[in-house]
A and B are shown apart, each in its own frame.
Chain A
């Protein structure tokens, strides 16, 4: 058996590969459960199916999917251009800090604009944090993978300092938390469980899907990712594209941060996301680096979080299993993507 390059990418495999990867992940998860001595079929049911059988858990999946889709769609676009932003977790944090500044510094400002300005501040914060790696790559050729990741640690430590220091709630019994936000500083809920952020993320992903397939900007991003030389021949500037992608993916991560603190979290605290910024990397790849694909991938990853909580309660399996399953899923996605460009041929080495 050896790999042979296909004359063209296989459309069939492009559609099939995420499903093959998912199937392999389910099998691997079953093996892990079985090795732990749990009934694998029951565990799989609890993990992957049960959350979808009750309305409130479905709502939870949707709410968890919102930040994942939002960030994942932005990362998908950036990765298409070979701009490797892996610091979305930091941009999310920066967005949350900037958005949180409004209710914390102006706790009494009550206006329809309050919430809007929080969301805008979130975008601005994420963009600013994303602009740093872009600038350093454009100006100094510094690798954006490393710089964007280092900035995650920096901004998380900064948030830690804020909520333990100047922004700590004076009435908060010394807990490292800011004041809790008031009604008008929180996103409206559409049902008892689903907040407006879910709609925002869906619309953003659809809009990005349109940008990638129908606009010159999308063409520019695609061409830049395939070949810098051809992009230059087409009159596009690599630096502009790098900056655009970092601002876009950073801004969306920042928006996700603003949405999180103005809905589920409701205040600033040292940890505001269970690693959405990193899980969104998986979302982007599982969604085939396609913003529309990120919608489905985000839902699946959200399900894996909820399922992880479910098996912990029902079977006392540590919720660390969630990250293992997510990691395995990404591995299989990458392995299966091979089948799009290559095929296995039997026989001797040519």
Chain B
């Protein structure tokens, strides 16, 4: 019996950025035809390693071995030539260009868009990944965009396909379709390096797993013989805290009511909201699930008052119709908002934390701002309070927002709103890109706030998160919201169907 040569071997890879060791002696072996999971928390160094494999970064020391031979991948073009394909988490697509143009940019050889379009049609039919080569990417859904990324790799007959968190943007059903494609590729001999932190899907899909923590490999295991809990322990390095719930048996008074809320988006790619109705009572957490790009951002803007509604009665807070009021009037009415994008929306990257305090507090916090003046000293004190109460870790006393890690900045923008003790809190993607410790703290804070009598609405793409904190769940799809149902009565499959639009009004009846 001849030994099979590994498709890719990474030996003792070290990557240093300034003072940070992003990868510390990382070794990993991927066999042909193997779907190999690469697990780790945000910031563990997974992306750094795959960027080095793809030639986008160079290792400080260590060696890559490809098909038994030592290699140096100087740039992505070389990686593609070797047969390494990569599907990025934040897609590397060009919205203004067509599908065929996007693919042509990643393919060497003669420049013939017509011939390429033909090949795209062929391969997409072959693998069951339907796309139109002439469509402009900006008009396509997230799922379709991912297909383009995958097709872009497939057209180069890859020997290794790197997938960076591919299912975070898909419905459970779409994810299942993706797994079929990946398994077929593996059966054809292609190796897949699969980056994820979704442990259940890794258990079902992968036959090997390498786990990274703080830049170091902590274990190489067979995920099929592990439990999700044991994998999580390896990833986080400690017992994962689960959120403590006291189930509410009685709903309090309705604090926030959305009544037939409709809003027409004005951007070319924005989603219009159609007849959204929902009510959230004191003491409960309601979650809105959905695939990215189905109107979550637009709904958040409509609720926060960044977009003013057509009819004041579309949004009622504590009995007051406030659809016509702007964001600061809504804040004065006891509402608080945490935006999805921390840098550039919820906080200004290049301004100090204390200055960022003023951002959401100047309207209703007379300590910080009165009669058109800003009290910088009081803003610093308030910042200190939040840093202490919500365990925000930072280097300097008053750093710029961008200097904080994702988790710490999220704790800060969350704390900034919780500190006001809001009657109604609306949070978009509460723990997106946040490490496990901060995630647990944030989720607990959301539940605690609701149990103290506030109404909490979260908009999230993360089903694990939703099942962990929500009392009731609704699903948004193409700007329409399903009826909110108690979390205990819903399954992942049911939510997946709703994500795909099972509740939508038939716009053109057959």
- A/B touching: CB–CB < 8 A: yes
Q: What is A's interface to B at a CB cutoff of 8 Å?
A: 4, 7-9, 213-219, 222-223, 226-227, 229-230, 232-235, 348-350
Q: Which residues of A are found within 8 Å of B57, using beta-carbon distances? A: 350
Q: A213 CA to B355 CA in the complex, in Å?
A: 11
**If the complex has contacts A219-B358, A223-B348, are A235 and B373 also in contact, measured as CB distance less than 8 A?**
no
In the complex, the answer to whether B362 meets A219 with C-beta atoms within 8 Å is yes
B58: interface (CB < 8 Å): yes
In the complex, the answer to whether A8 meets B346 with C-beta atoms within 8 Å is no
Q: Which residues of A are found within 8 Å of B358, using beta-carbon distances? A: 219, 234
Which of B101-109, B218-226, B337-345 has 4 or more CB atoms under 8 Å from chain A? B337-345
In the complex, the answer to whether B403 meets A219 with C-beta atoms within 8 Å is no
Report A347 CB to chain B, min CB distance, Å. 10
Identify the 3 closest CB pairs spanning chains A and B, nearest first.
A235-B328, A226-B348, A229-B345
In the complex, the answer to whether A230 meets B345 with C-beta atoms within 8 Å is yes
Which listed residue, B350, B362, B403, touches A234 by the CB 8 Å rule?
A: B362
In the complex, the answer to whether A216 meets B374 with C-beta atoms within 8 Å is yes
In the complex, the answer to whether B374 meets A215 with C-beta atoms within 8 Å is yes
Contact digits for B74-108, partner A, Cβ 8 Å, 1 yes 0 no: 00000000000000000000000000000000000
In the complex, the answer to whether A227 meets B399 with C-beta atoms within 8 Å is no
In the complex, the answer to whether A230 meets B58 with C-beta atoms within 8 Å is no
Q: A214 CA to B57 CA in the complex, in Å?
A: 45
Q: Which residues of B are found within 8 Å of A213, using beta-carbon distances? A: 376
In the complex, the answer to whether A226 meets B362 with C-beta atoms within 8 Å is no
Contact digits for B410-434, partner A, Cβ 8 Å, 1 yes 0 no: 0000000000000000000000000
Q: Which residues of B are found within 8 Å of A7, using beta-carbon distances? A: 395, 399, 402-403
Which listed residue, B17, B327, B355, B400, touches A233 by the CB 8 Å rule?
A: B327
Contact digits for B338-374, partner A, Cβ 8 Å, 1 yes 0 no: 0101001111111100010011101100000100111
**If the complex has contacts A8-B403, A9-B350, A9-B400, are A230 and B372 also in contact, measured as CB distance less than 8 A?**
no
Q: Which residues of A are found within 8 Å of B360, using beta-carbon distances? A: 233-234
Q: A235 CA to B362 CA in the complex, in Å?
A: 10
**If the complex has contacts A216-B362, A234-B362, are A226 and B346 also in contact, measured as CB distance less than 8 A?**
no
Q: Which residues of A are found within 8 Å of B347, using beta-carbon distances? A: 230
Q: Which residues of B are found within 8 Å of A223, using beta-carbon distances? A: 348, 351, 359
Contact digits for B362-397, partner A, Cβ 8 Å, 1 yes 0 no: 110000010011101000000000000000000110
**If the complex has contacts A8-B400, A234-B360, A350-B17, are A226 and B350 also in contact, measured as CB distance less than 8 A?**
yes
B304: interface (CB < 8 Å): yes
Interface residues of B toward A: which range?
Answer: 35 or more
Q: Which residues of A are found within 8 Å of B306, using beta-carbon distances? A: 232-233
In the complex, the answer to whether A215 meets B373 with C-beta atoms within 8 Å is yes
Q: A229 CA to B306 CA in the complex, in Å?
A: 9
- 20 further A-B contacts with Cβ under 8 Å, apart from A8-B399, A214-B376, A215-B373, are A7-B395, A7-B399, A7-B402, A9-B350, A9-B400, A213-B376, A214-B374, A216-B372, A217-B372, A219-B362, A226-B348, A227-B348, A230-B345, A230-B346, A233-B327, A233-B345, A234-B359, A234-B360, A235-B331, A350-B58
B130: interface (CB < 8 Å): no
Q: Which residues of B are found within 8 Å of A350, using beta-carbon distances? A: 17, 57-58
In the complex, the answer to whether B362 meets A230 with C-beta atoms within 8 Å is no
Q: Which residues of B are found within 8 Å of A226, using beta-carbon distances? A: 348-351
Report A216 CB to chain B, min CB distance, Å. 5
In the complex, the answer to whether B326 meets A227 with C-beta atoms within 8 Å is no
In the complex, the answer to whether B369 meets A216 with C-beta atoms within 8 Å is yes
Q: Which residues of A are found within 8 Å of B369, using beta-carbon distances? A: 216
Max chain A C-beta neighbours (<10 A), residue from B326, B348, B355, B396: B348
**If the complex has contacts A226-B348, A233-B304, A233-B339, are A219 and B326 also in contact, measured as CB distance less than 8 A?**
no
In the complex, the answer to whether B363 meets A235 with C-beta atoms within 8 Å is yes
Which listed residue, B58, B344, B373, B376, touches A227 by the CB 8 Å rule?
A: B344
Q: A8 CA to B395 CA in the complex, in Å?
A: 11
- 14 A–B contacts from the bound complex (CB under 8 Å): A7-B399, A7-B403, A8-B403, A214-B373, A219-B355, A226-B348, A226-B350, A226-B351, A227-B348, A229-B341, A232-B306, A234-B327, A234-B359, A235-B328
Report B338 CB to chain A, min CB distance, Å. 10
Q: A300 CA to B18 CA in the complex, in Å?
A: 39
In the complex, the answer to whether B372 meets A215 with C-beta atoms within 8 Å is yes
Q: A103 CA to B359 CA in the complex, in Å?
A: 48
Q: Which residues of B are found within 8 Å of A230, using beta-carbon distances? A: 344-348, 359
Q: A214 CA to B337 CA in the complex, in Å?
A: 26
Q: A227 CA to B57 CA in the complex, in Å?
A: 30
Q: Which residues of B are found within 8 Å of A217, using beta-carbon distances? A: 372
Q: A232 CA to B58 CA in the complex, in Å?
A: 40
Q: Which residues of B are found within 8 Å of A218, using beta-carbon distances? A: 374
Q: A314 CA to B450 CA in the complex, in Å?
A: 80
In the complex, the answer to whether B58 meets A349 with C-beta atoms within 8 Å is yes
Report A252 CB to chain B, min CB distance, Å. 20
Q: Which residues of B are found within 8 Å of A215, using beta-carbon distances? A: 372-374
Q: A254 CA to B308 CA in the complex, in Å?
A: 37
Q: A214 CA to B379 CA in the complex, in Å?
A: 12
Report A334 CB to chain B, min CB distance, Å. 17
Q: A234 CA to B347 CA in the complex, in Å?
A: 10
Q: A226 CA to B350 CA in the complex, in Å?
A: 7
Chain B: CB-nearest residue to A213: B376
Q: Which residues of A are found within 8 Å of B346, using beta-carbon distances? A: 230, 233
Chain B: CB-nearest residue to A228: B344
Q: Which residues of A are found within 8 Å of B337, using beta-carbon distances? A: 233
Q: Which residues of A are found within 8 Å of B348, using beta-carbon distances? A: 223, 226-227, 230
Q: A217 CA to B359 CA in the complex, in Å?
A: 12
Q: Which residues of A are found within 8 Å of B345, using beta-carbon distances? A: 227, 229-230, 233
